[in-house]
Amino acid sequence: MRILGIETSCDDTAVAIVEDGAVVLNHALISQIDVHKEYNGVVPELAARKHLEALLPLIDCVIEGANVTLSSVDAIAVTNRPGLVGSLLVGVSAAKGLAYALNKPLIAVDHIAAHSYAAHLTHEIAFPYIALIVSGGHTLLMRVTDHGEYAPLGTTLDDAVGEAYDKLSKYMGLGYPGGPVIDLLAQKGNPNAIRYPKAKIDRYNFSYSGLKTAAIYQTERLLNEGHEATRENIAASFQKAAIDTLYEKTILCAKEEGVPRVVLGGGVAANSYLRKRFTETEDVTAYLPDRQYTSDNAAMAAGLAYHRAKKGDYADMRLDVASRVVERTALRS
């Protein structure tokens, strides 16, 4: 089954053609980083306008690159939640138009479920598992029972982990997005130079505003003797505090839930230290998405859609968008 996937939930316009859930014939995206970086964050109105400009030419380009025709596609999949409403509407409207014009079925994709599907593009993974979805907008621990079926167990009470990276980067004058550049700097610094606090939040919840504030305003006070507050040391010490919390809570969650498998997803899943910790762990079997599928992309959406289609979970022309993470996806018996 050949599925055309469209993903416009935030600031990447992405399109993919995927067969049978895992054979990626082509995928591409147009990033809006250049548009948003002067504001140090995503401006929703600009994001929607840019999706509108980029989407149709990108669909043509991806179809051509895959060496297929639009009429050979069996279904159209689109991310409809959660995300920026204006951005989601551009993708959903285009998908409805295509589905109607081509007389093909429409499949709605939950973006959080798609992030946890990204690792399935390159790994065989048994259910259930614990997924850690970490990006600029989300820090979520959830129990995944099937493709597209999950229950959140914990989330951030304030900033998302990627957002904390982005804000520290903005303060340090390193631009947007901050994750990749702080990750690189961290590799040259000493993670024990500064005693940044790890938030003590109940169970599987997270908090990143305290760490962010400490890194921005309290570095001198938290400096360990004999160390300097260099950019590299700030990045390395921040990264250790940010990622160790993710790692420790995920392992605790997997143990308490009695689930020995962990799947990572989202832009922060590209982080070198996070990947190292989960690659080296002996406590669980960890599945990491290929780096090209960590941040927003349409291959994960089209891949997941195949499994929703197999269950007959099709959408119709009344499909709407939603900004928030659902409390629990519909669980089938």
Q: Which residue ranges make up the site for Zn ion (CB under 5 A)?
A: 135, 296
If contact means CB under 5 to 8 A according to the sort of partner, which of ligand KG4, Zn ion, none does residue 237 touch? none
DSSP assignment string, 115-133: HHHGGGGT---PSSEEEEE
Going by the DSSP 8-state scheme, the letter that residue 37 receives in this structure is: G
The length of the chain is 333
Q: Does 196 bind ligand KG4 (CB under 6 A)?
A: no
Q: Does 245 bind ligand KG4 (CB under 6 A)?
A: no
Residue of 177, 191, 210, 289 that binds ligand KG4 (CB under 6 A): 177
Among 82, 86, 162, 303, binds ligand KG4 (CB under 6 A): 162
Of 57-65, 90-98, 100-108, 177-185, the window that binds ligand KG4 (rule: CB under 6 A) is 177-185
Q: Binding marks (x or -) toward ligand KG4, 6..45, rule CB under 6 A?
A: ----x-----------------------------------
Residue 295 contacts residue 270 (beta carbons within 8 Å): yes
> Helix 161-171 and helix 179-186: axis angle, to 10°?
80
Tell me the three state secondary structure of residue 267.
helix
The verdict on 112 binding ligand KG4 (CB under 6 A) reads: no
**Pick 269 or 284: Cβ nearer Zn ion:** 269
Is 266 a residue that touches ligand KG4 (CB under 6 A)?
yes
> Is 79 a binder of ligand KG4 (CB under 6 A)?
no
At closest approach, how far in Å is the CB of 195 from Zn ion? 32
Residue 166 as a binder of ligand KG4 (CB under 6 A): the answer is yes
CA-closest candidate to residue 269, choices 289, 244, 240:
289
Q: What angle do CA 180, 185, 189 make, to 5 degrees?
A: 145
Bridge partners, residue 106, by sequence = 76, 315
Task: Please report whether residue 175 would count as binding ligand KG4 according to CB under 6 A.
Answer: no
Q: Which two tokens stand for residue 286?
A: 């960890």
Out of 5, 91, 137, 210, which residue is the one contacting ligand KG4 (CB under 6 A)? 137
Give the integer Cα–Cα distance in Å for 42 and 63. 28
Q: Is 270 in the site for ligand KG4 (CB under 6 A)?
A: yes
Q: How far is the CB of 294 from ligand KG4 (least distance, A)?
A: 7
- The DSSP code for 323 is S
Q: Closer to ligand KG4 at the Cβ: 189 or 267?
A: 267
Binding residue for ligand KG4, selected from 13, 135, 237, 250, defined by CB under 6 A: 135
Nearer CB in complex with ligand KG4: 98/288? 288
Q: What region does 238 belong to: left with phi over 0, alpha with psi -120 to 50, or beta?
A: alpha
Look up residue 106 and give its two tokens: 């429409």
Q: Which is nearer to Zn ion, 163 or 296 (CB)?
A: 296
How far apart (Å, rounded) are the C-alpha atoms in residues 202 and 207? Answer: 10
Q: Which does 165 bind (CB under 5 to 8 A by kind): ligand KG4, Zn ion, none?
A: ligand KG4
| Residue type for position 180 | P
Residue labelled with tokens 């469209």 = 6
Min dist CB 69 to ligand KG4, Å, is: 30
Tell me how far apart the alpha carbons of residues 178 and 317 are, in angstroms, rounded to a whole number. Answer: 38
- Give the nearer residue to ligand KG4 in terms of CB position, either 218 or 292: 292
